[in-house]
Structure 1
């Protein structure tokens, strides 16, 4: 405000006679209070011309006066210097304004934050007299690094027609040496086709690979580079051995089951859900249960939620991972398991956030536990939210979290990193590192963590090897219920934790605090030739390389599909889904609380076990 104008107005007021002055004291005091320094920014984070600013940062401006209202966003801009504008949102508290980019900033990039004059008002009525600008540079772009692969290093049970996937710590594009990527056996090059998508490189052999032969993939330096030009600095790759099998090994990300409902990823990228819907977990905007599939709907457009890549069904809630790396949730939210910062249940999807104005992003995998959820970022870090009474969020506390928070490292220090896969159990969590080791945290009274103890852990601990020696290694996949299951690279299966119903498959019903091998159906030798695993609440389902399904554990409702209602502590072949039902091939499957469900070729869904809330999806209510 112009000081001369203030003085002119003040002199006019003071020139009024004493009698008049007695009737306008508030006007005088208000005018006097207005005299002072102009509204201005006195501090900022980051500071002017700061370098090395985190790409996940938000900006904070501190003013010399308390602010009156929210800023007008059209006059508040964040843009790349010589680049495009970044959408932001903002909030005000006292004399502090926080500005949040809606998407993460680019690394190694100069940014300018501009605040237009007149767009900010103080409680005293002052407006910002001059434009304010803040320039800073984000942390430099780091060279791409191989984060994990499928198959994993030295895996022994790779299908002849499997696509090879290599995932980096950032989005990558073809570099100058891209054409020199090599797939080989015995130093003989094998023809292939390759393509890049986001942070992943996919290699498809031109023909099926030969059984019992070891192959190598090699990426020379400079073969890929980050989107801002930083090249792969060191050659990298992996070796693997092909099995005598026919089936392509894809993880069962197309369908997910919990106790009372299921969620299915359709071929067009939309979702179908069915079963109990008391908290809106079917995501169609209602709380009416459905015995047949209904579409999950976008909460704004009321059109089918689309561009989905992965799904997860929790206990009364659901999760979906979009292809853009964002995570969406709906259903029960009593413990913050929707991750939107509230405890309000939702009947349509909301975005999982890391704070009031920042969505969780760059996610490549998700997993829904009973009342908590976990997500894997493309940089190999793990994020979790929801119920935390047993330390299952891995942040060193037992307090629930309503926003996604980063899982801490072992000993509650730093952050857990170099993770390739995550699995949320009922009240514990497991993570598979890129080196093939397994790390767990949360509830452990039945040995679910596999570290040789029965003490709960609020930060990650390493799963030990057989008989408690060393660390379990060579693992290619993990899954969790009230117990934990791990698929070894050689096609055998390890399990540990709760075993009252025989769900560990070791021929006993004793809980195990260290990993045990799943036995064969006769109990002699080990179950082998396994491609995919899925742990339900109290039973386990696996798929062999020949496409058959095998089950063991709780069978109260016939969920094992062996024609009985008796629990089994050794594997039995499923006869109610897939090949035994008309010769159809099982393309995806999941173990729920008390049922097993499969998606077979042709798009049909087949189910076994409990159906009291329409979990079968066929319109019936009988088991």
Structure 2
């Protein structure tokens, strides 16, 4: 049996700073560590960092599909998929690559594994949403997967001018697209509220959706999940980043993590190390990750899949972080 202490274990290791850009957080190469870190947990110096290499580091479930050879360098973005890490996306040289534990006898998975020709060059962003994947090219959204082509009809407004996107993995599959400061939703069960139709600068989604307004206020919507949808007073101003988890939410304000929603596994019990100087957050399924300005990764809550066991290779040089069933770092 997993003890409460195991559920609440915090891991803190030396890593360079990052700047959050939604569920996946990124940092420019200029902001990353360029030399050996003096931070150590066992009296040993850390290895010299090589930020900007574009290598993906993954940990978590033993049955998670291994990062392919193409993910060992030059990657510029990634997106963790659904279904206990059935699949993931990465972006390299403007081309989308998909990998995972695919059952090619399943027609839905056959459709998902076939990246469309339009997503093999000049792509600038990627996202996953259950059995669907998205790529952004020249401001237009490309979607594939699902059961039938008729499911893939996107709103007309997503064909141009889109600047950001995210997908929901868990409970329901839908996409959110940002255009001219307003959120456009695809396949969602609850309409986008008026407050998220203008002045939005960031989005995140799971069963419920989050939008961050330019005035620092968090807006949320989705199915009848009162714990998620009741945004606390401290997240109604001054917030700089958001991340939707599985039944809970995270926000970043003045360098501190704010958490609300389901707390069955300690998701809301933010450790001391994540209460100041945090620059990046990622809410996962039942565990979360934060990155501090001092180069420290902090993870907390449910460790059943090994999300808290950060590998030594990921201890420095991170440019992006994301934590779901599986956790990933982009160097």
TM-score range (shorter-chain normalised) is 0.5 to 0.7
Q: Give the TM-score of the pair, scaled to structure 1.
A: 0.38
Q: CA shift at 1:576, angstroms?
A: 4.6
Q: CA shift at 1:275, angstroms?
A: 0.8
Secondary structure of 1:447's partner?
A: helix
Higher relative contact order (CA 8 A, sep 6+): 2
1:314 to 102, 119, 129: 129
Q: CA shift at 1:320, angstroms?
A: 1.6
CA distance in 2, matches of 1:421, 1:438: 10
Query: 1:502 maps to what in 2?
Result: 266
Listed one character per residue, the Cα deviations across residues 99-154 of structure 1 (whole Å, up to 9, x for unaligned) are: xxxxxxxxxxxxxxxxxxxxxxxxxxxxxxxxxxxxxxxxxxxxxxxxxxxxxxxx
- Residue 443 (structure 1) aligned with residue 269 (structure 2): no
Query: 1:298 maps to what in 2?
Result: 117
In structure 2, stretches of 5+ residues that fail to align are 1-15, 20-27, 33-50, 53-74
Q: CA shift at 1:281, angstroms?
A: 7.7
Listed one character per residue, the Cα deviations across residues 223-259 of structure 1 (whole Å, up to 9, x for unaligned) are: xxxxxxxxxxxxxxxxxxxxxxxx99xxx98111133
**Are the structure 2 counterparts of residues 326 and 499 from structure 1 closer, same or farther at C-alpha, using a change threshold of 3 Å?**
same
Query: 1:384 maps to what in 2?
Result: 185
**Are the structure 2 counterparts of residues 419 and 448 from structure 1 closer, same or farther at C-alpha, using a change threshold of 3 Å?**
same
**Are the structure 2 counterparts of residues 438 and 272 from structure 1 closer, same or farther at C-alpha, using a change threshold of 3 Å?**
same
Q: CA shift at 1:384, angstroms?
A: 0.4
In structure 1, stretches of 5+ residues that fail to align are 1-158, 163-203, 209-246, 286-295, 335-339, 344-349, 396-406, 452-462, 507-517, 562-573, 601-623
CA distance in 2, matches of 1:589, 1:545: 14
Q: CA shift at 1:551, angstroms?
A: 1.1
Q: CA shift at 1:546, angstroms?
A: 3.1
CA distance in 2, matches of 1:314, 1:257: 9
Equivalent runs, 1:67-86 vs 2, <5 Å: none
Query: How many equivalent residue pairs?
Result: 256
Q: CA shift at 1:381, angstroms?
A: 0.9
CA distance in 1, matches of 2:76, 2:287: 19
**Alpha carbons 2:111, 2:147 under 8 Å: kept:** no
Structure 1 segments, 4+ long, off by >4 Å, are: 159-162, 281-284
- Residue 276 (structure 1) aligned with residue 101 (structure 2): yes
Listed one character per residue, the Cα deviations across residues 243-299 of structure 1 (whole Å, up to 9, x for unaligned) are: xxxx99xxx981111332211121x111222113353488542xxxxxxxxxx4416
Listed one character per residue, the Cα deviations across residues 387-435 of structure 1 (whole Å, up to 9, x for unaligned) are: 41xx2xxx2xxxxxxxxxxx3415xxxx72111111111x111100000
State which structure, 1 or 2, has the greater radius of gyration over its C-alpha atoms: 1
- Residue 487 (structure 1) aligned with residue 268 (structure 2): no
**Alpha carbons 2:134, 2:144 under 8 Å: kept:** yes
Q: CA shift at 1:479, angstroms?
A: 0.9
Query: 1:599 maps to what in 2?
Result: 330
Structure ranking higher in helix proportion: 2
CA distance in 2, matches of 1:422, 1:528: 23
Query: 2:284 maps to what in 1?
Result: 536
Listed one character per residue, the Cα deviations across residues 541-581 of structure 1 (whole Å, up to 9, x for unaligned) are: 122223332211221121221xxxxxxxxxxxx345512xx
**Are the structure 2 counterparts of residues 530 and 374 from structure 1 closer, same or farther at C-alpha, using a change threshold of 3 Å?**
same
**Are the structure 2 counterparts of residues 534 and 160 from structure 1 closer, same or farther at C-alpha, using a change threshold of 3 Å?**
closer
CA distance in 2, matches of 1:281, 1:530: 40
**Alpha carbons 1:589, 1:599 under 8 Å: kept:** yes
Q: Give the TM-score of the pair, scaled to structure 2.
A: 0.68
CA distance in 1, matches of 2:264, 2:313: 25
Secondary structure of 1:271's partner?
A: strand
Listed one character per residue, the Cα deviations across residues 422-476 of structure 1 (whole Å, up to 9, x for unaligned) are: 1111x11110000000000013435112x2xxxxxxxxxxx3314xxxx621111
Q: CA shift at 1:332, angstroms?
A: 2.5
Q: CA shift at 1:313, angstroms?
A: 2.0
CA distance in 2, matches of 1:548, 1:281: 40
**Alpha carbons 2:95, 2:123 under 8 Å: kept:** yes
**Are the structure 2 counterparts of residues 387 and 500 from structure 1 closer, same or farther at C-alpha, using a change threshold of 3 Å?**
same
CA distance in 1, matches of 2:278, 2:256: 6
**Are the structure 2 counterparts of residues 161 and 598 from structure 1 closer, same or farther at C-alpha, using a change threshold of 3 Å?**
closer
Secondary structure of 1:586's partner?
A: coil
Secondary structure of 1:537's partner?
A: coil
CA distance in 2, matches of 1:465, 1:365: 27
CA distance in 2, matches of 1:309, 1:366: 11
CA distance in 1, matches of 2:111, 2:289: 24
Equivalent runs, 1:65-144 vs 2, <5 Å: none
